[in-house]
């Protein structure tokens, strides 16, 4: 694949993941570029590595924000909520889980917390970059195949479907950013507690 497009995928993945709590759906964009040049093993591997490494390195920006404004983060409701959630678990396990989790930018909170607590950025990167490459390999493979199959059914070009999907996921990202995650968590927890009391 042309190195210009690999550099573009890296840049989009970096910019997307360096944007706090929201960014373009970089794996869908990467899948669209992959389909544009052909879904071959070599092209797939190059796109996966470019997107995964770009996404992983970008999280250092979130770490830097946390490091620089750590004292102010204690007033952020969502950051405090996620700090409590991962407090009783392995911090580095939380990095891996949130890094590979699709759709939700929970790893942003983890890196903000890590920066504020001056955790080892090198150790965080050693987990995050391979995790992001793994995430890219799974998501790009599924998304590219999905775009091909949907394109056959709808007779819309897979590249055009990729562009449409990118816009749709960008809008979804905005909506996810506006959610009060602590309130949602408490509602779900309350629901399951009520179910446990009412069911034998």
In whole numbers, what is the pLDDT of the chain averaged over residues?
A: 78
- Other beta carbons less than 10 A from residue 167's beta carbon: 13
The rounded distance, in Å, linking the Cα atoms of 158 and 110 is 35
- Other beta carbons less than 10 A from residue 28's beta carbon: 24
Predicted confidence (pLDDT) per residue in 173-183, tens digit: 666 656 666 67
CA-closest candidate to residue 179, choices 93, 67, 78 = 78
Reduced to 3 states (helix: H, G, I; strand: E, B; else coil), residue 180 is: coil
Predicted confidence (pLDDT) per residue in 114-133, tens digit: 887 777 889 889 999 999 99
pLDDT of 152 higher than 80: no
Mean pLDDT for 170-195 is 67
Q: Is 178 exposed, middle or buried (0-12, 13-18, 19+ CB in 10 A)?
A: exposed
The rounded distance, in Å, linking the Cα atoms of 90 and 172 is 30
Predicted confidence (pLDDT) per residue in 16-44, tens digit: 888 765 555 788 888 888 988 888 999 99
CA-closest candidate to residue 96, choices 58, 124, 61 = 124
């Amino acid at each position: 694949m042309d190195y210009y497009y690999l550099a573009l995928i890296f840049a989009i993945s970096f910019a997307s993941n360096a944007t706090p709590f929201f960014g373009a759906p970089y794996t869908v964009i990467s899948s669209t570029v992959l389909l544009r040049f052909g879904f071959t093993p070599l092209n797939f591997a190059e796109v996966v590595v470019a997107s995964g490494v770009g996404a992983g390195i970008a999280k250092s920006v979130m770490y830097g924000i946390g490091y620089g404004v750590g004292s102010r983060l204690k007033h952020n409701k969502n950051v405090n909520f996620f700090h409590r959630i991962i407090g009783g678990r392995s911090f580095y396990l939380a990095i891996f889980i949130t890094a590979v989790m699709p759709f939700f930018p929970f790893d942003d909170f983890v890196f903000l917390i890590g920066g504020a607590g001056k955790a080892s950025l090198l150790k965080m990167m050693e987990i995050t970059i391979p995790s992001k490459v793994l995430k890219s390999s799974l998501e790009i493979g599924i998304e590219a195949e999905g775009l091909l199959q949907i394109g056959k059914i709808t007779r819309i070009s897979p590249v055009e479907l990729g562009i449409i999907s990118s816009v749709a996921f960008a809008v979804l990202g905005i909506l996810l950013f506006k959610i009060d995650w602590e309130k949602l968590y408490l509602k779900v927890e309350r629901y399951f507690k009520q179910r446990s009391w009412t069911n034998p």
